[in-house]
Amino acid sequence: MTTKTPIVLDNGKHVPLADGDTLPSNGQPSVRFSITLRSGEMEVFNSGYDVWNGQWGLGNWGDKSATIDASTGAIVVPVGGMYRVTGMMSGTAAANGTISGYLNQPKDICGDPAYPHPYYFGCRTAVSAGLCILPFAGVVGVGTGNKFSLYLAHNFQLSGDSHLNFELIA
């Protein structure tokens, strides 16, 4: 039985790895963080939405850490790029309404969380009433040092902890 040696590209030539060599890095830092949403962390934003205040912080792992703007509760990303977003929010919806959750500009800049500028991302669904889930899955582009906030419709009350995970992918 023979073993195969990993091959890497070096200046256009295939070169086998020698003992002690490491694969080249793509140069992209690892940025991964998560938000755990609790019902006590939402505050009134306007007549239709509540905004996450960032009171309990977020979880970071990876090379670089996201932070929270103390004045707005907005999330500040350390590296610009495309972030994969996964997770869900579970809660209770008021009768016969539409519930929604969005990522958008911080509350001191945002006029309407459901308006797609500059990087609106979220979900919306009509419900009759009762327990429901808002799923989040996709990719959002955020610039270095840019901030964003999380908004939920007034008629959607979180129940228990909900989680959103973010990972820099490009």
Q: pLDDT tens digit string along 66-109?
A: 999 988 889 999 988 899 999 998 888 887 778 888 888 888 88
pLDDT of residue 160: 81
Q: Mean pLDDT over all residues of the chain?
A: 81
Beta strand residue intervals within the chain, DSSP E: 7-10, 13-16, 31-37, 42-44, 49-52, 58-62, 67-68, 75-76, 81-93, 97-104, 121-127, 130-142, 147-153, 156-158, 162-168
At residue 94, the pLDDT reads 82
pLDDT of residue 133: 87
Query: What architecture does CATH give domain 32-168?
Result: Sandwich (2.60)
Q: How is the chain split into domains, by residue range?
A: 32-168
CA distance linking residue 122 with residue 140, whole number of Å: 10
pLDDT at 1 over 70: no
Whether the per-residue pLDDT at 115 is higher than 60: the answer is yes
Distance CA 147, CA 106 (A): 6
Which of 16-25, 91-100, 123-132, 155-164 bottoms out in mean pLDDT, i.e. has the lowest? 16-25
Lowest-confidence segment of 6-10, 67-71, 115-119, 141-145 by average pLDDT? 6-10
| Residues whose CB is less than 8 angstroms from the CB of residue 29 and which lie 6 or more positions away in sequence, other chains included | 62, 63, 64, 78, 79, 168
Of 148, 39, 35, nearest to 90 by C-alpha is 39
